[in-house]
Amino acid sequence: MRRLITITAAIWATAPLASLALQSQPLPQSFTTPVYLTAPAGDTRLFVVEKAGRIQLLDNGLQSTFLDISGLVNSDGERGLLGLAFDPAFASNRRFYVNYIDINFHTVVSSFTAPLNGSSSVDTATEQQVLSVAQPLGRSNHKAGWIGFRSSDPGNLYIATGDGGGGNDPDNLAQNLSSPLGKILRVTPTAGGGYTVPADNPFVGVAGNDAIWAYGLRNPYRNSFDRLSGDFWIADVGQNAREEINLELQGVTGGRNYGWRAREGTADNPAVPDAAPAGAVEPFLDYAHATFGRSIIGGYVYHGTGEPGLDGSYFFGDFVSGRIFTVRNNGGNPSDLTERTAELGTPFGPNQLSSFGEDGLGNIYAMGINGQVVLIAAVVPEPASWALFLAGCLLVGGMCARKTLPARSAML
């Protein structure tokens, strides 16, 4: 505990002065419990995932239902349609993947094929199941559900599974290398359904489920790959003490153990007597529940064009507190931890922030279970203000030439 407080203080000490560089711009549309947003690379459309089992398409501001599998989905509590990833070759094969809890209480990862006409809805008969994982009976939470492709590893789908729930992982599934729960899985989906395992997965040829990429996770609900560097950011929701962010830099081979349930963030889990596993990897950053919040929502590394000074900053937030932060990776260590909540106009109150999302161009969004989706955008000075400023320059002659304009004016 003391160590984290020291680290946190050091990070804060290096944080820049609060700026007013960002704002949140609400989309005019409202959604029903949005929990994710994504798009194929380079695609200007937005695909918003609704927890009950629908994907809403926004195409030039026009909204339509892209996919409706609500009849297949158990969406109570932490269950629902939880993940969406477009095949890196979507432009040619029109394939995308979803992760949902089905009515038989399994985590299901399936592919669907979008119609040729980009404005039509998806035929649910195109579903091909990649894998199915039975959830422990009677345990309603910790279903994670994020899925994603890494640009440097385009044939393989990464799948985040929770520990199956129940509080403090009662069957120690996250440390069990025979169980697919409490893991990041990495599989090669096969056309027509099913998957194969990449030969370089860490447990191929040794004891352990060959599909496992990383383990010792509790509820890695929202994760991301840095679209430029390939770094893997895993945000693992904690139990009663700590929230954590794990960072696998591009090039890190699989097989990492992130410590749950013995470890919760940088501390031993006070609820179980388990010794820390040998070789368990400490988080990149964690926080105590008395500080930033009680349920982390992982986000994205900013590579938008609106605010060049933010390039490389990782956005994350907290569901319970509604607070939003950025932090930078400085050689594997956190730096420049900065709260952005007020700067963004406090877009979400307590118990609303459900996810961040990244569109096909690299813009970042945040969304809440209240139905609102906001674009995280740069603040652009009002045209009228700049007109007045420039008029003033003319009046006072060369005065303006020596005045340093704010950095963000460079994008105007």
User: At its nearest, how many Å lie between Ca ion and the CB of residue 295?
Assistant: 33
Structure tokens at 185: 């899985």
Cβ distance to Ca ion smaller for residue 168 or 209: 209
Helix (H, G, I), strand (E, B) or coil at 398: helix
Neighbours of 174 (CB within 10 A): 27
**Comparison of 197 and 379: residue with beta carbon closer to Ca ion:** 197
User: What is the number of the residue whose Cβ is closest to Ca ion?
Assistant: 203
Under rule CB under 5 A, residue 105 binds Ca ion = no
Which range binds Ca ion by CB under 5 A, 64-72, 104-112, 149-157, 206-214? 206-214
Q: Can you say whether the dihedral through the CA atoms of 233, 231, 107, 322 is positive or negative?
A: positive
Q: Is 203 in the site for Ca ion (CB under 5 A)?
A: yes
Size of the site for Ca ion (CB under 5 A): 3
Strand order in the sheet with 232-236: 222-225, 232-236, 242-248, 285-288
Q: Which is nearer to Ca ion, 98 or 211 (CB)?
A: 211
Structure tokens at 178: 């025979």
Instruction: Out of 88, 136, 170, 208, name the contact with Ca ion by CB under 5 A.
Output: 208
Whether 244 and 237 have beta carbons less than 8 Å apart is answered as no
Residue 271, class by beta-carbon neighbours within 10 Å (0-12 exposed, 13-18 middle, 19+ buried)? Answer: middle
In the complex, least distance from residue 208 CB atom to Ca ion, rounded to whole angstroms: 5
Give the residue with the Cβ less far from Ca ion, 121 or 209. Answer: 209
As given in the structure block, the two tokens for residue 26 are 């609400």
Cβ atoms of 138 and 147 within 8 Å: the answer is no
Q: How far apart are CA 163 and CA 303, in angstroms?
A: 32
- C-beta closer to Ca ion: residue 137 or 199: 199
Binding mask 167-186 for Ca ion (x = CB under 5 A): --------------------
End-to-end CA distance of the chain: 46
**At a CB cut-off of 8 Å and minimum separation 6, what does 406 contact?**
none
Listed ranges 57-65, 201-209, 236-244, 330-338: which one lies at the site for Ca ion (CB under 5 A): 201-209
CB of 109 to Ca ion, least distance (A): 20
State the nearest-atom distance from the C-beta of 161 to Ca ion, in Å. Answer: 17
Rounded to the nearest whole angstrom, what is the least distance from the CB of residue 188 to Ca ion in the complex? 16
The window from 25-33, 54-62, 197-205, 220-228 that contacts Ca ion (CB under 5 A) reads: 197-205
69 contacts 81 by C-beta, under 8 angstroms: yes
Q: Which is nearer to Ca ion, 65 or 253 (CB)?
A: 253
**Least CB distance to Ca ion at residue 178 (A):** 9
Contact 354, 368 (CB under 8 A): yes
**Shortest CA distance to 239 belongs to which of 143, 183, 169?**
169
Residue 210 interacting with Ca ion (CB under 5 A):
yes
Stretch that binds Ca ion, among 72-80, 165-173, 186-194, 199-207 (CB under 5 A): 199-207
Residue 159 in contact with residue 100, Cβ under 8 Å?
no
Q: Which one of 42-50, 210-218, 299-307, 311-319 is the stretch in contact with Ca ion (CB under 5 A)?
A: 210-218
Stretch in the footprint of Ca ion (CB under 5 A) among 98-106, 124-132, 205-213, 329-337: 205-213
Contact call for residues 37 and 47 (beta carbons, < 8 A) = yes
> Shortest approach of Ca ion to residue 209 CB, angstroms?
6
The stretch near Ca ion (CB under 5 A) out of 13-21, 200-208, 341-349, 389-397 is 200-208
Phi-psi group of 178: left, alpha or beta (phi > 0 → left; psi -120 to 50 → alpha; rest → beta): alpha
Q: Nearest to residue 132, comparing CAs of 85, 90, 72? A: 72
Other Cβ atoms closer than 10 A to 29: 16
Cβ proximity to Ca ion: between 105 and 203 the closer is: 203
3-state secondary structure of 390: helix
Shortest distance in whole angstroms from residue 182 CB to Ca ion: 17
Nearer to Ca ion, 201 or 321 (CB): 201
For binding to Ca ion (CB under 5 A), which residues are involved?
203, 208, 210
